[in-house]
Chain A
Amino acid sequence: MPPKAAKGEYIETDTGNKISRRSNIHGTQHIILGGKTVIQTDAVIRGDLYRLPGAHPSSSSSTTGDSGEPTPAPAPAAPNTPSVAVSIGRYSYVSKQAVLRPPSRLHRGVHSFYPLKIGDHVFIGERAVVEAASVGNHVHIGCDAVVGSMAILKDFAYVLDGAVIPPGMVVPSWCVVGGAPARIVGEVGEGYGVEGAEGGLARERYRLVGR
C-alpha cells in the first residue's frame, strides 16, 4: 500500500497518541487512551469485550435480592455509563503483536468482562498478552509475557520476558517476577523509574516513534 505508507505509519491523535495504521483495535468506543500512548503494528486491543450493561445488573440484583447481605461485588459499574473495556494512561507503549484483552471471570454463573486499566509509562513488550485487571504506573511487561486474567500489577512492577503470570496474581510494587508460573524473583533498584534511566524511558520512547 504505497499511498498509506506515504501518509506515515502512525496516526497521531489530538492528545498525541501514536497509533499504527496496521494495529487491530476493536470496539474503539470502549477504549480510553490517556494521550501520548503508542500502539504499534499488529497490536490487538479488544475493546469489544466490554461488560454487557444488561448482564451485570441482572446478576447483581439477583444476588442482592437473594442473599440480602452486602456481598462484595467487585466494582459494580453504573449501568447507564458506557462501559469502558480498556483504559490506558499516558506515555504507555504497546509493542508489536501485543494483545490487550479485558479480563473476564465467571461470577455466579455469569461470565462477564471487567475493565482493563493500564497506568502511565507502561511498557508492554512484543507478543505479550495482557489480561490483567489493573496495571499500575511504570510497569514493564517483557516480550512474550502472559499476564493472566484478573491479575494486578502494582506500580513499578517488572515482568521479565516470557513470564507467565497466573490468573489473579498480585505483583507488588518494585518486584521483579519471572518464570512460569511467575514468582517474585527480586526487586528493582531504588533508582528504577527515574526519568531517563531504566524504567523512566517512556517519554524518550514516545519521542522516537514515527520519526
Chain B
Amino acid sequence: MSRPFPYTYISCPCVERPVSDPSRKKETSPRKGSSQPAPEINDNDDEEEEKDFDPRSPRANFSLYPPEQLLYCEDCHQIKCPRCITEEIVCWYCPSCLFETPSSMVRSEGNRCARNCFSCPICTAPLAVSTLENVSGSGSQQGPWVLSCGYCMWTTLDIGIKFDKPTNIRNQLSKMTESSRGRQMSRAYGDLKSPLSPLATAYSTVDGPEVPPDDGKPPADEDPAVLGPDARFAALKAFYRNQLSETSASPNDPLGTDFGAGFSSPGALNRIMSLYTSSTLSGLYGGNSKKSKPKPLMMREAQTASEGLKLAASDAEDTIIQRMASDDCGWEGLASSEQRVFQFPEARFVEDLLPLPTLLRTKRSKRCKSCKHILVKPEFKPQSTRFRIRLIALSYIPLTTIRPLAVSPSSGVTSSTTLLAAPTPDLNALQPLQPIQILLTLKNHMFDPVRVTLGTPSVTPGAVATKVTILCPQFDIGANSDVWDEALQASNPADQRSSRSGLTGGYEKVAEAGKVWDKGRNWTTVVLEVVPGLLERKTGTLNTKEKKDEEDAKDARHARDATSDGGWSDSDENETTPPPGHGLGLETQSSPAPAQPDEDVLEIPVFVRMEWDSENQMEQPVAKGKPEMVKRELAYWMVLGVGRIEY
C-alpha cells in the first residue's frame, strides 16, 4: 500500500522518547509544553535543529505513519502511534458471517468460526455451501451438500466429503473427519474442543487423577491409531499434567511444578504455598520437612495409545514416499508448505487437507500506554462502524495537503495559454534543478486558532540534495467553527475555488516570500519552493551496508502500511521486488538505475510546531473558578512525499 504522490507521513515523537524509560530526564522532543516559558521552547527548538529528522534513516522510517493511523491523547497532549498504545479486545467476530462469538466460547472452542464459514485449504478463499442437486423444481433441496471454493473450484467432494444438511457444518465435519479416517469417535474430550481450553483440562482431570494408568487400563485394548489428532493432544496433555502433579506431589519441592505452573492451577497454588512453607516454615522448624520429603517419582513418557502415544508404523515413510512417487500423486498431489501450516502435521497430500474454519477477528479498543486513558473505543457490535470514543490525531493536528502549483514559465508565454493548459509538474518525473512550487495547505480542525511554525532543512538529507525553501514559515490558521458557519461559508464556493486553484481572475498569482499564499476560514496555504537535486548516477560512495539498511527500512514501511495483523501471513505481500539494477553492483556505470532503491524519491522533512491557547481542562490543578486559557504547544516532524526525481 505504498501511497501515490503526494503523500504525507507524520513521525510520532515517541521515536525519540523511549517509552520504557520514563526516568530519562532530558527529553529531546518538546512534548508537553502546556505552559512552558518561551526560552525553554527556544531551547528545545535549538536542540531540534541540531539533529534534523532524516526520513531516510532506517530508524526514522519505523516512526513514520500516515496521519489517519495516529491517535491523540488529550491527557498527555501528544500524538500516539500504534507503538504508544495498548489494545484490548472488545469483541470477537467472524469476518465471513460477521456474527459475534462470545469470548467465553472463544476460550473454550478456539478462535474459529463455529458456523458454516470455512476457507479453502488450497487457496484460502472462502468456501460456499452449495447443493449437488442443482435441478430446478423437483429437487426439494434435500440433496447432499458440499463446500465449494469459488476461486480455485475445489470442493469437499475432492476429499470425499458430503454433508447431509446445510447447517452446522462444522459439527458435521468434525464428526466425519474423526470417523472417516478409520478412527472411532474420539472420546469425551475429543470432539474438537480447543486443546488449550480450560474446559478440556477440566475434562481430563476428571478421568485421570489416579495412579499410573498403565496398569489401570489394559494397554492396547484399541488399535493404536484410535485417537484423532485433537483427542491425542488432549490425551497427551492430560497425561503430562498427571505426571507433573504426581512427580511433584510433595509440596516442599518448589521447583517441581515450575514447568507445569502455566496450565495446572492446583500445581501453581502448590508451588506458591510450597515457596512459603519451604522457605519460612522449614527454616523455623528445622529440617522436619526435609525428612518428610519422599523421593520424587520419576517422570515417564506416554506408553499407551490411550495416553496419547502414537507409534509410527515401520513402513510409514516408505508408503509416503511411494505415494509421492506414484503417477497419480505428482507434484499437484502434494500439499505445499503454506497449505500444511494450517493443517494437521501428518497431512502431506492434497487429499489430506481439510476445510479450515474461518479465523475470527477482533474489534479492539485502544489505550494510551503511558496514562492509560482510552483513546479509541468502538461500538460493541461487530457490524457497527461507529465509535464511542475516537481521539484521532487528525482532529488535533492540522490536516496537511500538498499540491504542486502549475508551472509558471518565466519566459514570455501569453497568459491565455497558461490559463488553458497550465501544466502541473508530473510528480513521478520531477525535473532536476528545475524549481517547482508546492502549495502546502494546513487545515485546522480544532476550535482554537493555531499559530504554526514550519521548519525544514534547507537541503534535504540523503544522497540527492534538494533545496527546499518555505516562503512563509510562520502563519496562523483560523479556528474551526461549527458546521453551520461552514455551510454559510460554502455558499460562495466559486470564489473559494478560484482562489485555491491559484488563478485569481486573469492574472497569475506570484508567490512572495513572507506572505501566505492563500487563507480561508480554518486553513492556510503557503508555498514551498523546491529545487530537486541532481540525481548522481552510480557514484560508488554509498557502501552496501547503508544501502541495505535503507532498503530494510523501506520494506518495513511498506509492510507497516499494510499492517499485517491478518490471520493469514501473506507471503506475497512481503516480497518486494528489487528494483532494476539492484544487486548488480555499484560499479556498473552503464545501467541507468539510481544507486539505491527509492533514492530518487523526493521526501521533505518538515518540522511543525503549533501553538494555541485553549481552555484549561479539569485535570490541571489550577483552582480557579473561570476557565483559564492555557498555552499549548505541539511539535512533530512530518515528511512530505513530493514526487520522484527524473534522472
User: B-contacting residues of A (Cβ < 8 Å)?
Assistant: 59, 62-63, 66-67, 71, 106, 108-110, 148-149, 154-156, 158, 160, 164, 166-176, 178-179, 181, 183-194, 196-199, 207, 211
From B68, B135, B150, A192 is in contact (CB under 8 Å) with B68
A173 to B382, CA, bound (A): 9
Q: Which residues of A contact B95 (CB under 8 A)?
A: 170-172, 175, 184
Q: Is B70 an interface residue (CB 8 A)?
A: yes
Q: Is B390 an interface residue (CB 8 A)?
A: yes
Q: Which residues of A contact B393 (CB under 8 A)?
A: 191
The secondary-structure label for the interface of chain A is loop
A68 to B569, CA, bound (A): 46
Residue ID in chain B nearest A199 by CB atoms: B68
Chain B nearest CB from A187 CB (Å) reads 6
Q: Which residues of A contact B67 (CB under 8 A)?
A: 191, 197-198
Q: Which residues of A contact B136 (CB under 8 A)?
A: 59, 62, 108-110
From A166, A175, A196, B150 is in contact (CB under 8 Å) with A166
Q: Is B96 an interface residue (CB 8 A)?
A: yes
Q: Which residues of B contact A168 (CB under 8 A)?
A: 126, 128, 150
Q: Which residues of B contact A109 (CB under 8 A)?
A: 134-137
Q: Is B562 an interface residue (CB 8 A)?
A: yes
User: A-contacting residues of B (Cβ < 8 Å)?
Assistant: 1, 65-71, 93, 95-98, 120, 123-126, 128, 134-141, 149-152, 361, 366, 376, 382-383, 385, 387, 390, 392-395, 399, 401, 443, 497, 501, 562-568, 570, 572-573
Chain B nearest CB from A159 CB (Å) reads 11
A80 to B62, CA, bound (A): 59
A210 to B636, CA, bound (A): 37
Question: Contacts A170-B95, A191-B68, A199-B68: A184 and B1 contacting too (C-beta < 8 A)?
Answer: no
Q: What is the count of residue pairs linking A and B with beta-carbon distances less than 8 angstroms?
A: 148
Q: Which residues of A contact B134 (CB under 8 A)?
A: 106, 108-109
Chain B nearest CB from A149 CB (Å) reads 8
Residue ID in chain A nearest B131 by CB atoms: A108
A189 to B138, CA, bound (A): 51
Is the CB–CB distance between B149 and A166 below 8 Å?
yes
Chain B nearest CB from A112 CB (Å) reads 11
Q: A183-B570, A194-B399 are in contact. List 8 more A-B contacts (CB 8 A).
A: A109-B135, A154-B383, A158-B1, A172-B382, A176-B563, A186-B565, A194-B68, A196-B399
Is the CB–CB distance between B151 and A166 below 8 Å?
yes
Is the CB–CB distance between B497 and A207 below 8 Å?
yes
Q: Which residues of A contact B151 (CB under 8 A)?
A: 148, 164, 166-167, 181
Q: Which residues of B contact A148 (CB under 8 A)?
A: 150-151
Q: Which residues of B contact A184 (CB under 8 A)?
A: 95, 361, 566-568
A170 to B382, CA, bound (A): 13
Q: Which residues of B contact A176 (CB under 8 A)?
A: 1, 562-563
Residue ID in chain A nearest B399 by CB atoms: A196
Is the CB–CB distance between B443 and A196 below 8 Å?
yes
Residue ID in chain A nearest B81 by CB atoms: A189
Is the CB–CB distance between B68 and A185 below 8 Å?
no
A71 to B568, CA, bound (A): 34
Chain B nearest CB from A163 CB (Å) reads 10
A194 to B366, CA, bound (A): 19
From B387, B394, B443, B563, A186 is in contact (CB under 8 Å) with B563
Is the CB–CB distance between B150 and A178 below 8 Å?
no
Is the CB–CB distance between B573 and A185 below 8 Å?
yes
Residue ID in chain B nearest A192 by CB atoms: B68
A171 to B383, CA, bound (A): 11
From A169, A172, A196, B98 is in contact (CB under 8 Å) with A172
Is the CB–CB distance between A108 and B563 below 8 Å?
no
Question: Contacts A176-B1, A178-B562, A197-B68: A190 and B135 contacting too (C-beta < 8 A)?
Answer: no
